[in-house]
Amino acid sequence: MILHCVLLRLKAATTGEEKQALFESVVALKQVIPGILDVKHGPNISPEGLHGGFVDGFAVTFESAEARDAYLVHPEHVAVGERIVSSLDGGLAGLLVFDLSL
């Protein structure tokens, strides 16, 4: 299994409703892309203060590296990804991706 962690530095003007809509679009990918086992999202709740401005994020659990790789190029993911990047402070500079093998 692969845990695909995505940390976001959203633009300051992003409303709570806009954040929720972005996260819901990620969750909806589970219904159209095979191999997604789970999607979680929310704000960073660490008390350490080491977030570097990445205060929102989501994690997608995939059944395999192959499922993750298929997700990365899937047209629905690409569309959601473009929407997310356009909402970030600094575009791609406002995105951090970290994958773990479980």
pLDDT per residue of the chain (102 residues) written in tens, 0 to 9: 999 999 999 999 999 999 999 999 999 999 999 999 999 999 999 999 999 999 999 999 999 999 999 999 999 999 999 999 999 999 999 999 999 999
Q: How far apart are CA 92 and CA 41, in angstroms?
A: 19
Instruction: Count other C-beta atoms under 10 Å from residue 90's C-beta.
Output: 11
Q: How far apart are CA 3 and CA 1, in angstroms?
A: 7
Strand-strand pairing, 95-101 and 2-8 = antiparallel
Q: 80 is written with which tokens? A: 């959601």
Let me know the angle formed at the C-alpha of 101 by 96 and 102, rounded to the nearest 5 degrees.
120
Which pLDDT score is estimated for 98? 98
Instruction: Count other C-beta atoms under 10 Å from residue 67's C-beta.
Output: 20
Beta bridge partners of 101: 2
